[in-house]
Structure 1
Amino acid sequence: MLLLAFAVAIGLVSPARAQQKTNVDKIVAKVDNYIVLRSDVEMTYVQMLSNGEKDNGNLKCEVLENLLVSKMMLAKAEIDSVMVEDAMVEDQMTRRMQYFINQIGSQEKLEELYGKTIDQLKGELRKQVREQMIVQKMQETITADVKVTPAEVRKFFNSIPRDSLPYFSTEVEVGQIVKYPEVSKEQKQKAKEKLQDLRKRIVNGEDFAELSKTYSEDPGSAKKGGDLGWWGRGAMVPEFEGAALQLKPGEMSPVIESPFGFHLIRLEERKGTQYRARHILIKPESSTLDLNDAKDYLDSLRSVILADSISFEKAAKEYSDDEMTKTSGGFFVDPSTNISRMPVESIDPVVFFVIDTMKVGNISPPLKFRTEDGKDALRILYYKARTAPHQANLKEDYQKIYNAALAEKKQRLLSDWFESTRSEVYISIDPMYDSCDLLNKETF
């Protein structure tokens, strides 16, 4: 769906589809100099249905209203001189483009698929990204002070028909404290020497890309000959970026160290603040002694927690090496709700099979595992709670209901803002949407 949205946003459609789009598309609303196309409404409508929204007969009207509010925010931002910095737009655009490249397989495949260079694609996407960021900034400004009280949460919950309350599957709360073994100097030296030997082979005529395919321990780029695609300043870790940007196209770096391991880097191309490089990554392996030291550390920390000398949450914030979970007291968080109680089907299967053998309230002994980037690590798991399948209720689901009530209140505020602000801009809506009654059937 994201790829489809990307294609529609910058006109990446086949000639037949392009002709069809020309024939059926039309402007259905205007807000000052900003327009809403019929395809915008239809595309968003399909996305909402795919995300589980139900059409009560009024969904397309809701879609159009949301699009109108967004366009009005853009128009009002122009009046109020609300802007986003070019650097922030470029960074966001580069990240999104890299996502699409990763999904399709390579920059070359993306360019071949759409018959446009990466710079052309970014040029066509830049306006949309900037507008999205301005709308987000306006929304955050308008709703910054919105809060809901416990009484409002209760009122919101009681307004939901009993037969419409959601049913939640089994949910669990699981936390972790992670320890990365301290890699010894000897292991680091082995990794450096391996890369130095590869560098000599490249200097003597062997192909960088082929050696990367064979030896690099970066699974994402190794199969592409180490090609990392295009990135902007600030996207890579400083050690890597600093070394890459000191090179001229075609030059190769000495062995450099980053938090990911040791690299050989070859700069392929550079255009302004954007650059494309290849690398060969070798990660120093932890020795058995290194792993045992980490295990002893976690064993001691577990004993302190079990003795109630420190809470698990505090220990995770102070001592865990995992940046993603330590800020939440070690707990895995459901990204859709931003709370730590998660459906069991959303839990990492490796974690699930461990807690399936544990009792609620227990903390596991240190367990060896591999991180997403392939590092050896150890962790202890805390099985805090388990909630049986149930229909939504205030006692067990207060945070979820709070989030829903807050979202509804913000949406009401945005609708009120639309009503109070619309007189400041020119708005017109195609008669085909008269039944939506968005402007009380008045045409401006």
Structure 2
Amino acid sequence: MTLKYFKYNPLLIRVTLLTLFLVQISIVASAQSSKGQVVDKIIAKIDNYIILKSELEGAYIDYLASGQPSTNDLKCRILESLITNKVLVAKAEIDSVVVSDEEVESMLERKLQYFISQIGSEERIEQYYGKTIQQFRDELKEKEKEQLVVRKMQETISENISVTPAEVELFFKSIPRDSLPFFSKEVTVGQIVKVPSVSESEKLVAEQKLSDLRQRILNGEDFGTLAKQYSEEPAAQNTGGDLGFQPRGALDPKFEAAALSLKPGEISKPIESSFGIHIIQLVERRGNLYNSRHIILIPKTTQKDIDRSIVELDSIRNLIVQDSLTFEQAAKELSDDQNTSSSGGYFLDAQGSNSISVKELDPTVYFAIDTMTLGAISKPVSFRQPDGKEAVRIFYYKSSKKPHQANMKDDYQKLYAAKLNQKRSKAISRWFSDAKQEVFINIDEEYDQCNILK
């Protein structure tokens, strides 16, 4: 449920706004700043953290672009959200609330795939933001880590908050009839994905080519020059395959194990990771940090590989149709798509509901189910994943809801989530009133009228 439906509730907007938009906003704002569209300066300091004017302006533009209504105090409320999040991070340091490297990497990979799917490719990301994919990744990683810390602090603050059915009903009745949201058509759709395995013959071709390149380097040719010429990593054109200093746990485990088994200057034989096949050179180690460079080749799937996956997926489909296996069980146990397998194969909206607006659904998915009948399972179809790799999937068109105005029967879960967010927002607002006394906060006098500290 979007924030505009509860515009009379400033607490909900004030505390949750940044959670929805921070990472996208800050990166877009950074890109705008680099192009000279925003004159930057520090507008707030919270302990060791700062907020830039470009962050506020980017958040403001993004909020309006999302279709939300503007108000006279909108920038003040956005700034308060930015400051609240920084206070959460600062307090997390004081209270020793941390997130693991594994959590950060997992979230980072999902966010990267999201950007790739939205923009089209790694090359287009580099062109749009004027950064190598590695620079983009490093910047995004810091923001994702901060967001995870914020989320963990929010969960800690509101962990004992719950909502009863009676509260949901009172919440629904409190919404003016003329302010009830109108929901577009919603569908419940699932998928099971199979990613074709690359044939061993294709892998051997890549390994042989990399072995030849390794020998050329050992014979005196420059690693960086060959990386620019042959590596299939887009950033190699700018970096020569250099990945810069990385902490343990930041890169693919197989890649890292191979890199750390080398002596500085030594070059590995071809090794396979989840991204492709590499030769790696360890450049330098500094404690838990290490710098490496690589040349990667990505073996391509052939039509035979795809055909094998189609046959496999068709067998799974037949088991479901014959009631020998439920769709949800098959998705959890057999699907190669991590984003949907954990939810039984279903696409979820921002609130975690599998009843998703067609406006939020990927257009390719919508067009696929548009010709299906309710309860049907499609034949296997090929598609290209956000990372560019070929895959095969089947769809399950479970149910559909017509466009309608919000009501308790059809939208209980959405109303429940909205009421829960409202209570959590109030708890965080109360927490902020106390926490801002425990950290240093300085706000540029330009924003005195916002009265954030009062």
TM more than 0.5: yes
For the pair shown, the structure with the greater C-alpha radius of gyration is: 1
The one-letter amino acid paired with 2:361 is I
Task: Work out whether 1:2 is the aligned partner of 2:40.
Answer: no
Matches within 5 A, 1:6-405: 6=30, 17=39, 21=41, 45-63=60-78, 65-66=80-81, 69-70=84-85, 73=88, 81-84=95-98, 105=126, 110=131, 135-204=150-219, 208-209=223-224, 211-212=226-227, 215-216=230-231, 218=232, 220-221=234-235, 223-224=237-238, 227=241, 229-230=243-244, 231-247=246-262, 250-267=265-282, 272=287, 273-283=289-299, 285-286=301-302, 288=304, 290-334=305-349, 336-405=350-419
User: CA 1:434–1:246 in 2, change beyond 3 Å: closer, same or farther?
Assistant: closer
5+ residue gaps, structure 1: 112-117
Distance 1:88 1:40 in 2: 27
Hey, what does 2:11 align to over in structure 1?
none
Distance 1:160 1:82 in 2: 40
Cα shift at 1:254:
0.8
Cα shift at 1:344:
3.0
User: CA 1:430–1:94 in 2, change beyond 3 Å: closer, same or farther?
Assistant: closer
Q: Is the 8 A contact 2:26 2:55 kept in 1?
A: no
Q: Is the 8 A contact 2:270 2:279 kept in 1?
A: yes
User: CA 1:298–1:62 in 2, change beyond 3 Å: closer, same or farther?
Assistant: same
Q: Is the 8 A contact 1:72 1:425 kept in 2?
A: yes
Distance 1:372 1:151 in 2: 43
Secondary structure of the 1:381 match is: strand
Q: Is the 8 A contact 2:43 2:444 kept in 1?
A: no
Q: Is the 8 A contact 1:31 1:71 kept in 2?
A: yes
Distance 2:229 2:261 in 1: 26
Cα shift at 1:93:
12
Q: Is the 8 A contact 2:314 2:379 kept in 1?
A: yes
User: CA 1:229–1:167 in 2, change beyond 3 Å: closer, same or farther?
Assistant: farther
Distance 1:89 1:185 in 2: 32
Cα shift at 1:316:
0.8
The one-letter amino acid paired with 1:277 is R
Secondary structure of the 1:277 match is: strand
Cα shift at 1:371:
3.1
Distance 2:229 2:302 in 1: 21
Secondary structure of the 1:377 match is: strand
Cα shift at 1:421:
6.2
Cα shift at 1:149:
2.0
Cα shift at 1:81:
3.6
User: CA 1:269–1:17 in 2, change beyond 3 Å: closer, same or farther?
Assistant: farther
RMSD over equivalenced CA pairs, Å: 4.7
User: CA 1:64–1:199 in 2, change beyond 3 Å: closer, same or farther?
Assistant: closer
TM-score (norm 2): 0.71
Distance 2:219 2:149 in 1: 52
Q: Is the 8 A contact 2:192 2:331 kept in 1?
A: yes
Secondary structure of the 1:241 match is: helix
Cα shift at 1:410:
0.5
Hey, what does 1:114 align to over in structure 2?
none
Distance 1:197 1:371 in 2: 31
Cα shift at 1:283:
1.4
User: CA 1:208–1:361 in 2, change beyond 3 Å: closer, same or farther?
Assistant: farther
Q: Deviations over 1:40-74 (max 9, x none)?
A: 76665555444444334443554455456456556
User: CA 1:362–1:89 in 2, change beyond 3 Å: closer, same or farther?
Assistant: closer
Cα shift at 1:362:
1.0
User: CA 1:425–1:248 in 2, change beyond 3 Å: closer, same or farther?
Assistant: closer
User: CA 1:416–1:345 in 2, change beyond 3 Å: closer, same or farther?
Assistant: closer
Distance 1:86 1:308 in 2: 41
Task: Work out whether 1:411 is the aligned partner of 2:425.
Answer: yes
Secondary structure of the 1:298 match is: helix
Distance 1:251 1:47 in 2: 47
Distance 1:310 1:94 in 2: 34
Higher mean Cα deviation, 230-239 or 422-431?
A: 422-431
Cα shift at 1:143:
0.6
Cα shift at 1:37:
8.5
The one-letter amino acid paired with 1:3 is I
Q: Is the 8 A contact 2:89 2:149 kept in 1?
A: yes
User: CA 1:253–1:131 in 2, change beyond 3 Å: closer, same or farther?
Assistant: closer
The one-letter amino acid paired with 1:369 is F
The one-letter amino acid paired with 2:386 is E
Distance 2:48 2:198 in 1: 59
Distance 2:46 2:298 in 1: 54
Cα shift at 1:326:
0.9
Secondary structure of the 1:199 match is: helix
5+ residue gaps, structure 2: 1-24, 117-121
Q: Is the 8 A contact 2:197 2:301 kept in 1?
A: no
Q: Deviations over 1:305-353 (max 9, x none)?
A: 112222101111111122222111112223x333233333443344333
Secondary structure of the 1:105 match is: helix
The one-letter amino acid paired with 1:166 is P
Cα shift at 1:32:
8.6
Task: Tell me the number of residue pairs that the alignment of Structure 1 and Structure 2 aligns.
Answer: 415
